Structure 1
Amino acid sequence: MTHKMVRLGASLVSCVVLLHGCSSQPSGRYQQAHDSAPTRIPTATELQSATPVQEPLSRQGNQDYQVNGVFYDVMERAEGYSETGIASWYGNKFHGHLTSNGEYYDMYSMTAAHTRLPLPTYVRVTNLNNQRQVIVRVNDRGPFHSDRLIDLSFAAAYKLDIVGHGTAPVKVEAIEFLSPAVEHRYYVQLFASEDAQKISTLRDQLPKNWQAHATTQSNESLHKLLLGPLPQVEANKWLQQVRAKGFPNAFRVKITANSAEATDSNNQN
């Protein structure tokens, strides 16, 4: 989630006074316009790493999406994920509000936000400045800054000694469970319209190599032009290609056992 990270002073007590003094009036669905630090430090129990548990994917929060004109393609699996980047944290402003997978954000729980990892995913986060580690459960989307990799809860950031600095370089590694992998297949949706003739004409105008993969689907009054079905890796390649060549709003559609489930709710008219 988009927010401005605060920099704290030498001690948490003094920084809390400073931050509350700088808080703006409430705006939108949040009680304050800018983020701020909690009024207390985490307890010893709250500083314990999250215990990894193999969970099914959340019913929401796992669709491809767009924020501020940027497309985010949600990873199908977290196995093998390892990346270094900058971690930030979020606190009071978002405490008690819904996360992307429909849970309530608790800044004293060991959780985190990531733009692309499946929800939920357990990851090990290492502060590369001091080698401190913590395991957190990713249950939210963000941070939507090009120079940041992960947003940590206040408790996780406190354990890694990131709170006082606001950000830190980290390594993020997915906790893996031994389970059989399921390879899903996808469509790449190019366009949707209530005008069936428009879809047919547009299909005929596609490049020859695209037409070999093109298909149409109709759902009540909505007609769709798609490419596929395709394995995930190939679908990702086609997605980047079609976005660059005239279909900037194209997105993937995961094929489920019963139907094709769109992984983005945006339709073009």
Structure 2
Amino acid sequence: MKRILAICLVLVIGFESISWAQSPFTYPDSLLVIQEGIASYYGVRFHNRRTANGEVYNMREFTAAHKHLPFGTLVKVTNQKNGLQAIVRINDRLPQNSKRIIDLSKGVAQHLEMVNDGIVAVKLSLLSASAVEWLRDQYNTVPQDIRLRSYYPEISVKKDEQELTKIKKKVF
């Protein structure tokens, strides 16, 4: 009978700890934010010209230029003025001396309702924890203006032999 109760207790405690576990996909969005700053857009003047990755720029597509994010990276852009969001693909480069963090296509600017403003404050976020790990692997040295946070905190435990001995004596 005691064994059955012990097994039930272990199962209940085990299932409770599983329900308290945090999935990396349900982490708050703030952990996925990699950059905050000013965004602008470019449109008609660059329409049908080649981008830095070689494709033809279409001002209606959801694409963007960034200083150093790898081509093809998907980034969620949030307009901090009104909270509107869009997912864009990086396909072009900004000049290294630019004070902006991203240039968006005109289609994205219209979606974010920033065409009249021209420039707005934005947050750039990755879409998942695995995207953070993938992006971290793309760099030899992560640029200082990008935050790539780890989802799994490093835990270190110092083994104290005296404390372990005391605990063993109390238990047994």
What TM-score do you get using the length of structure 1 for normalisation? 0.37
In the TM superposition, what are the counterparts of 1:170-189 in structure 2 within 5 Å? 170-176=122-128, 178=130
Cα distance per residue 1:172-221 (max 9 Å; x no partner): 11223748859879xxxxxxxxxxxxxxxxxxxxxxxxxxxxxxxxxxxx
**Partners of 2:72 and 2:106 in 1: CA distance:** 18
**Partners of 1:183 and 1:108 in 2: CA distance:** 30
Q: Which has the higher strand share?
A: 1
Counterpart contact for 2:67–2:96, Cα < 8 Å:
yes
Q: Which has the higher helix share?
A: 2
* Cα gap change, 1:129 to 1:92, in 2 (>3 Å): same
Counterpart contact for 1:143–1:150, Cα < 8 Å:
no
Say how many residue pairs are matched: 112
Shift of 1:147: 2.2
**Partners of 1:110 and 1:91 in 2: CA distance:** 12
Greater radius of gyration (CA): 2
The answer to whether the aligner puts 1:97 opposite 2:49 as a matched pair is yes
**Partners of 1:119 and 1:108 in 2: CA distance:** 18
Cα distance per residue 1:24-48 (max 9 Å; x no partner): xxxxxxxxxxxxxxxxxxxxxxxxx
The answer to whether the aligner puts 1:137 opposite 2:45 as a matched pair is no
Q: What SS does structure 2 have at the residue aligned with 1:131?
A: coil
Shift of 1:171: 0.3
What TM-score do you get using the length of structure 2 for normalisation? 0.56
In the TM superposition, what are the counterparts of 1:246-257 in structure 2 within 5 Å? none
Shift of 1:232: 2.4
5+ residue gaps, structure 1: 1-79, 186-230, 237-269
**Partners of 1:182 and 1:126 in 2: CA distance:** 19
1:123 partner amino acid: V
Q: What SS does structure 1 have at the residue aligned with 2:108?
A: helix
* Cα gap change, 1:127 to 1:81, in 2 (>3 Å): closer
Percent identity between the aligned chains? 41
Q: What SS does structure 2 have at the residue aligned with 1:232?
A: coil
**Partners of 1:123 and 1:137 in 2: CA distance:** 6
Cα distance per residue 1:136-158 (max 9 Å; x no partner): 11111015553211000001001
* Cα gap change, 1:157 to 1:144, in 2 (>3 Å): farther
Counterpart contact for 2:41–2:109, Cα < 8 Å:
yes
Q: What SS does structure 2 have at the residue aligned with 1:109?
A: coil
Counterpart contact for 2:41–2:105, Cα < 8 Å:
yes
Match of 1:149 in 2: 101
* Cα gap change, 1:102 to 1:177, in 2 (>3 Å): farther
Match of 1:88 in 2: 40
Shift of 1:93: 1.1
2:74 partner amino acid: Y
1:115 partner amino acid: K
Residue 140 of structure 2 is aligned with which of 228, 232, 235?
Answer: 232
Match of 1:108 in 2: 60
The CA RMSD measured in Å over matched residues stands at: 3.0
Q: What SS does structure 2 have at the residue aligned with 1:171?
A: strand
**Partners of 1:113 and 1:143 in 2: CA distance:** 9
Counterpart contact for 1:143–1:149, Cα < 8 Å:
no
**Partners of 2:74 and 2:113 in 1: CA distance:** 20
2:93 partner amino acid: R
In the TM superposition, what are the counterparts of 1:155-234 in structure 2 within 5 Å? 155-176=107-128, 178=130, 232-233=140-141
Shift of 1:87: 0.4
Q: What SS does structure 1 have at the residue aligned with 2:68?
A: coil
